[in-house]
Amino acid sequence: MELLSGNEAIARGAWEAGATIGVAYPGTPSTETMENFGKYEDVYAEWCTNEKVAVEVGMGASMAGRRVLSTMKHVGVNVAADPLFTAAYTGIGGGFVILAADDPGMHSSQNEQDSRYYAMAAHIPMLDPADSSEALKFTRDAYELSERFDTPVMIRSNVRVSHTRCLVEVGEKVPFEPKPYKKDASKYVMMPLYAKVRRVVLEQRVADMKAFVEECEYNKVVEGADNEIGVICAGSTYQHVIEALPEANVLKIGVSWPLPEKKIRDFAASVKDVYVIEEGSEYLSNQVKALGVTLSETVRPLKPEGELTPGLISYAFGKDIPSHIESPEDLPPRPPALCPGCPHRPVFRELHRIHAIVTGDIGCYTLGALAPLEGIDSVLDMGASVSMAHGVELALQDKAHNPVVAVIGDSTFAHSGASSLLNTVYNCGTGTVCILDNRTTAMTGRQGNPVNGVTLQGRPSRELDLPAFVRSMGVDDVRVVDPQDLEAVKRELGDATKNDHLTVIIFKSPCVLLERKQREKYWINANCRGCGICTTLGCPAISRDSESRLASIDPSLCCGCSQCSQLCPFDAIVHEGK
């Protein structure tokens, strides 16, 4: 037995099943899955530029006979949807398992999604483990199912399953002999002639899978003390239900598409009242009601958004919330902020100062939208900053307007920002694009990407020449600036936003969490006038006395970046040597 998180268990399950190739784009809560898979011997794992590419690489490896694991977070499934839907038509060669990790409660995401809708729409079976133990077993079994039904199989996780550790019965690796590659255009070339035939194959596969889920071990009834209450649920919600309602009969759904229709009807008929409990979605309840099952209403409604807890479920069924100590309400707020010394901070401060219209992107630099920086006006999805800036320019081209600036990180630029920039170049767009190159994919845990040339397994690689790459698209005005130099940031942004052509500024400086250099720390001397300009950086290390208004620096947080010293007009901020 080993104590494993869901992510570790899925990686282990893929390895035990003989998967030897892993492809992914990092994204919370899925990231550690591929990082752990890449640690096993005799496997190859890589970060891909985005989830679509990952599925395409995975399908190539599967077609050539290997068992493959691909992982992504829920919004990544949107990016991967194009190959995913057609992969359901072609089927696979070696077993192909895709992890979709949902994030109810949006702990680190821009929205809540239920990936089960993708499984239903694409006609791809989805397994829904409730804990790490099932995550390992379901993943290991999913390869057999993938090859049995000739289809990719999805594993759905969420933040609780992905990050919660529990004891898991691990096994040995089962040797898998890669299947020989067999040329078969009628299976893998989805021109209409062949696709129409494969659609018929898909329908027969769905019928076969529907028969399978009625009898498989993954969908089972867990009997309670009486037949008054019956609950249908799946995934981690099952753990909450059996804690909140130990007396209830529970139909635990392990395959959330296709659903076991007969088993659901039989279960509903066996209890007095039947309920569906699920978080942040109506996928399961709508499917059950579509079967003609009448669901009972809870005493109090469950909230439609965010995560569920046993307490919320108990309360919905009319139980009182156990007495507890309320959290104090007079604690000072502590909003999220960019790290002390973050090289993005001077860029956002300057964009705020010049009142730019800033379209932002996905990454830790999204925090630049918060006070006091307030340097971002929009964040939609990966790569949208550059496309949206082009749209803003089109809308305002006949009007006087503030400078339009797109801000995007290096990894996100490689993910999908490059195609957006190419579109702007192709359509003769203008404005300023800032690529914040901090040499890593910072938000998900400092993974490598094509711009810094660091691979998942530390193999020798190539580092993208970002300025040359941007110039090759047709951008004539490309600049590389050190964002830790505040005067250079001000000068280059001021110049770029005043011209009438497209300018790309690459602000290149490593993430402070990468280097962790022990530079001389800064402190504030008697020259401080309490003007407060240093606090406009929003650095967590800087604070002001509520009465004297004088500033101070927390030495335990200061990393010696010198940003505040450059900003102080009174030479009041000096490093330890002075």
Taken in order of first residue, the domains within the chain and their CATH numbers are 2-214 (3.40.50.970), 219-317 (3.40.50.920), 343-508 (3.40.50.970), 522-575 (3.30.70.20)
Binding site annotation covers 568? yes
Torsion of CA 461, 462, 464, 465, to 10 degrees: 150
Residues 427-469 pLDDT 10s? 999 999 999 999 999 989 899 999 999 999 999 999 999 999 9
Q: Is 233 assigned to a binding site? A: no
Give me the sign of the Cα torsion angle 98, 103, 108, 110. Answer: positive
CA distance 257 to 249: 22
* CB-neighbour burial class of residue 490 (10 A; exposed 0-12, middle 13-18, buried 19+): middle
- Of 236, 163, 157, 138, which Cα lies nearest the Cα of 5? 163
Is 339 annotated in some ligand binding site? no
| pTM of this structure | 0.93
Cα atoms found within 13 Å of the Cα of residue 554, Cβ hemisphere only: 12
Say what the pLDDT of residue 578 is.
Answer: 62
Token readout for 370 is 């918060």
* Interatomic CA distance for residues 320 and 300, integer angstroms: 11
Whole-number pLDDT of residue 329 = 78
pLDDT at position 326 is 79
Alpha-carbon distances, residue 165 vs 6, 157, 217, 294, 558 (angstroms):
7, 13, 23, 36, 34
Instruction: Select from 523, 495, 452 the least CA-distant residue to 350.
Output: 495
Residue 434 assigned as binding residue: no
Q: Is 166 among the annotated ligand-binding positions?
A: no
342 is in an annotated binding site: no
Whole-number pLDDT of residue 227: 85
DSSP letter for each residue of 21-63: EEEE---TTTHHHHHHHTTSTT-EEEE-SSHHHHHHHHHHHHH
Residues of the chain with pLDDT under 70: 577-578
**Cβ distance 554 to 541 under 8 Å?**
yes
| pLDDT score recorded for residue 416 | 97
Gyration radius (Cα) of the chain, Å:
27
